[in-house]
Structure 1
Amino acid sequence: MFQRMLKEVYGISADSEVSLGRFHGYKHNEGLYLIMDANGIKEQEISELARIAEHMQNFGDRNVSKLLTDREGRQICDWQENKYCVLQNRASPIPEKMKTGRKLAKFHARGRQIPFKVESLNRVGQWKQLWEKRLDQMEKVWSSKLYTEPENDFERMFIESFPYYMGLAENAIQYLADTEIDDKPTKIDHGTVCHERFTNTLWRGTYFVKNPFDWVFDHASRDLAEWVRERYFANIQTSQPEIKNFLAEYQSLTVLSPFSWRLLYARLLFPLHYFEAVENYYITQSEQARHQLEDRLRKYLNQSSDHERFLSNFYHLSEAPVKAAKLPGVEWLLR
C-alpha cells in the first residue's frame, strides 16, 4: 500500500520494504524512506520539525532524516483517509563502536545553534508544571480507590505504594524548584534538540536514523537522565560502569554545568517508571499488557531499596563535581 503511495504522491519508485522496528521503511538505491503516521499532529509541529531537521543537516549531521514534500509541495499527504509524512535518509549502517555519549553531545551542540524560536515543540522550563499535573491526576485516582476493596493484586500494590512514590515525586519537584532558584544557567543550559525519550536502542538498528518525530526542544539533561534511567532498569546490578562511561563520553565534548547536573538529578528523582506502569495499566484494554504491567510494578516495588541506593550514590558513581559545584543530596536518601 505504501509503495503505491510513494509512487503516486511522491514520485518515488521504492525497490524493497525494510524492517525498521515500529516504522514502515522502503529502500530505493541508497535512499531509505520512512512512512510516518501524521494523524493528530498539528501542521505547525511538523513544519517546525522540518525546519529543525534542515538546520541539523546544514550543521553537518548526515544521519538526520529529511522531511519530504509531495508533488504538490505539501509536508503532510492524505492517503486512504489517513495523514502521513515521508522521511528520507541515507541507508547507512550503525558505526561499529559507536560512542553514544559523544554522539549525543555533538547532536545537542548542533541543536543549541538553532537560529529561530521553537514554539510548539518547546518543553524548556515546563517540567515542574507537567510533573505537578501528573502527580495530581494520579493522586485523584488513588484517592478514589482508597475506600473500596482492591479489585486485584495490581490495585492493592498501587494503593499501598502510591504514598511512597508521591513523596519521591514531591522531592523531585522541590529539587527542581530549588535548582531554578539557587543556580544560574550557563551557555550549555540553552534549549536544544532532545528526544521524547532517549534510550540506548533509539539510535541502534539496521540503519543509523535520527528521526525528527522522536524530538522535542528541551534542556539536554532530559536525554541524559532518560538514557541513564533506561540503562539502570535494564540491569540494576551491572549498569553502573556503563552509566559512568556514557556520562564521561558526553563530557569529553560538553562539560556539564552545576545547573545541568542538578536538572539531571531532579529528573532521575521523579519516578517516571512507576507513573508509566500505573498510567498504562489503567489506559490499556489488553489483558496481556495488564499482566505484564502488574509484573513490572511488582518488580519495581521489590527493587525500591536498590533504587534508593542508586539515587543516593548517583553523583558519586557518575563522578559529578559534588563539592566544587555544591550539588546537594536529598537528606532522607543519604541516611
Structure 2
Amino acid sequence: MKKIINEEYGIKILEMTKLGQYESFRLHQSQFLIVPVTHIEEDELYELYHLSQFMVEKREPYIASIVLTKNNNLFFEKDQAKYVIIKCSTYTEGRFHQIGRDLARFHQKGRTYPYQVTKIQRIGQWKFLWEKRIDQLESFWHGRVFSQPLNRFEKMFAESFPYYLGIAENAIQYLVDTELDEDPQPIDSGTICHHRFHSATWNSSMCIKLPTEWVFDHGSRDIAEYLRHLFFEEKQGINKNGFSFLDDYNRTTPLSVFSWRLIYSRLLFPVHYFECIENYYLSAEENKTVFEERLNKILEESSQYESFLKSYSRMLSINTRRIELPAVEWLS
C-alpha cells in the first residue's frame, strides 16, 4: 500500500495507523485516510469530489476532501479494489451540542449547490427504489419458504416478512399521497445528504465529514434516518431526544408539511429490517450470527417501533400545532 501511494501520489508514508475503520497516516500536520470506494462508480466519485470542494468553499467545518493523484485521478487500485485518499480538515475535534441545528445548516449550504447532480441523485426516486427492493426481497423470500428453511434466521425471516412487506407498502402509499396532496416548498429542493445519518456520523471526538458517505436527496432522508437510529440506540429517550432534535432543526430551517410527511413515510419504510436480511445473506459465514441477533432484536422490538411511529405525530404537534399528519389506519 505504501509503495503504491508513493508511486501514485508522490507521498512517502513513514507509518500507518488505524483511525476508526480506516487506515490513516499523517503528513505535514495533516491527517489522511485511505478509504475503499470499490462500490462507488467513477462518475459518482467525480460528483462527490465537486460537492466536497463546494462545501469547503462554503466554509462548512470538518469537511474532508478527496486528494488527486499525480495524474489527476480520483482513485488508485490495489488487488482489484479501488481506494481514495481523503485529507481531513485541520480541526477534527467536533463540538456538536445541537445536532439538529448543525444538520439544518449543513443542508442549507448543500441546497445552494449550483450544478447539475445526476449520478448520486436520489430525490424523487424513493418510490422506484423501494418498489425494486420489495420485489427483489419478496421473490427471494418465496424461494426460501419453498426450500424449507431450517436455521433460526431463515425461520424468523420466513415468518416476519409478510408483516414488513405490509408496512413497506403502507410507506409507499403514504409517500404517493404526500406527493399528490402537498406542494413542495423551496426547503424541499435537493441537498447533500448521507446514505445513513446517525449520532456517530459526525463523531465529536474525531469529526470527519466524509464525501464518500454522501448522496443528493431531500433533507428528510437524514432526519428520518437519525430518528430511526435514535430509536434503536436509546428507546427510553427517543421522545425527548427525538423532539429536541426535530425542534433544533425546525427552528434553524422551518420544515414544510411536505417535509414532515416525507420524514414519516421514510420512518414507515422498514429499511432497518430489509438491510438486516440483505446483510445476512451477503456476509461471510463467521459474521452471520451478528445479523441473526440483530433480526431477533428488530422482531422483539416491533411493537415498540409501532409506538414510536405513533409518537412521531405527537412530537410534531408540539413543534408545529397547525400541521396535521394523515393517520395510518392500522397504527391508530
Range class of TM-score, shorter chain:
over 0.9
User: How much has 1:126 moved relative to structure 2?
Assistant: 0.6
User: How much has 1:302 moved relative to structure 2?
Assistant: 1.6
CA contact (8 A) 1:91 1:208 kept: no
Name the CA distance, whole Å, in 1 between partners of 2:218 and 2:318. Answer: 18
User: How much has 1:12 moved relative to structure 2?
Assistant: 3.1
Aligned to 1:196: 195
Aligned to 1:309: 307
User: How much has 1:150 moved relative to structure 2?
Assistant: 2.6
1:172 aligned counterpart, secondary structure: helix
Name the CA distance, whole Å, in 1 between partners of 2:149 and 2:80. Answer: 43
Aligned to 1:72: 71
Structure 2: runs of 5 or more not aligned:
none
Q: Deviations over 1:169-208 (max 9, x none)?
A: 0110000000000001100100000001111101106422
CA contact (8 A) 1:15 1:28 kept: no
Quickly say closer, same or farther: Cα 1:218–1:96, change in 2 above 3 A: closer
Quickly say closer, same or farther: Cα 1:10–1:206, change in 2 above 3 A: farther
Quickly say closer, same or farther: Cα 1:109–1:240, change in 2 above 3 A: same
Aligned letter for 1:208? C
Aligned to 1:327: 325
Quickly say closer, same or farther: Cα 1:144–1:43, change in 2 above 3 A: closer
User: How much has 1:165 moved relative to structure 2?
Assistant: 0.8
User: How much has 1:238 moved relative to structure 2?
Assistant: 2.7
Aligned letter for 1:331? E
Aligned letter for 1:101? G
Quickly say closer, same or farther: Cα 1:315–1:80, change in 2 above 3 A: same
Q: Deviations over 1:301-320 (max 9, x none)?
A: 12111111111111213446
Q: How does 1:63-212 map to 2 (within 5 A)?
A: 63-79=62-78, 82-204=81-203, 206-212=205-211
Name the CA distance, whole Å, in 2 between partners of 1:306 and 1:78. Answer: 45
Q: How does 1:287-306 map to 2 (within 5 A)?
A: 288-306=286-304
User: How much has 1:266 moved relative to structure 2?
Assistant: 0.3
Name the CA distance, whole Å, in 2 between partners of 1:70 and 1:58. Answer: 21
Name the CA distance, whole Å, in 2 between partners of 1:114 and 1:202. Answer: 22
User: How much has 1:146 moved relative to structure 2?
Assistant: 3.2
Q: TM-score, normalised by structure 2?
A: 0.93
Name the CA distance, whole Å, in 2 between partners of 1:86 and 1:237. Answer: 40
Aligned to 1:243: 242
| 2:32 paired with 1:33 | yes
CA contact (8 A) 2:94 2:206 kept: no
Quickly say closer, same or farther: Cα 1:16–1:281, change in 2 above 3 A: same
Name the CA distance, whole Å, in 2 between partners of 1:171 and 1:331. Answer: 10
Q: Deviations over 1:54-88 (max 9, x none)?
A: 11111111311122212222222345654322111
Name the CA distance, whole Å, in 2 between partners of 1:79 and 1:175. Answer: 45
Aligned to 1:277: 276
CA contact (8 A) 2:145 2:158 kept: yes
Structure 1 segments (4+ residues) deviating >6 Å: none
Name the CA distance, whole Å, in 2 between partners of 1:55 and 1:179. Answer: 32
Q: Deviations over 1:273-321 (max 9, x none)?
A: 11112122222232x4222222221222121111111111112134466
User: How much has 1:37 moved relative to structure 2?
Assistant: 2.1
2:207 aligned counterpart, secondary structure: coil
Quickly say closer, same or farther: Cα 1:144–1:221, change in 2 above 3 A: same
Name the CA distance, whole Å, in 1 between partners of 2:138 and 2:312. Answer: 28
1:217 aligned counterpart, secondary structure: strand
- Give the root-mean-square deviation of aligned CA atoms: 2.0
CA contact (8 A) 2:62 2:92 kept: no
Q: TM-score, normalised by structure 1?
A: 0.92
Aligned letter for 1:24? E
User: How much has 1:149 moved relative to structure 2?
Assistant: 3.1
1:237 aligned counterpart, secondary structure: helix
User: How much has 1:221 moved relative to structure 2?
Assistant: 0.4
Quickly say closer, same or farther: Cα 1:81–1:314, change in 2 above 3 A: closer
Quickly say closer, same or farther: Cα 1:20–1:230, change in 2 above 3 A: same
**Which stretch of structure 1 is more off in the superposition, 55-64 or 140-149?**
140-149
Name the CA distance, whole Å, in 2 between partners of 1:213 and 1:285. Answer: 24
User: How much has 1:112 moved relative to structure 2?
Assistant: 0.2
- Paired residues in the alignment total 332
User: How much has 1:53 moved relative to structure 2?
Assistant: 0.8
Name the CA distance, whole Å, in 2 between partners of 1:323 and 1:239. Answer: 20
Aligned letter for 2:245? F
Aligned letter for 1:218? D
Aligned to 2:47: 48
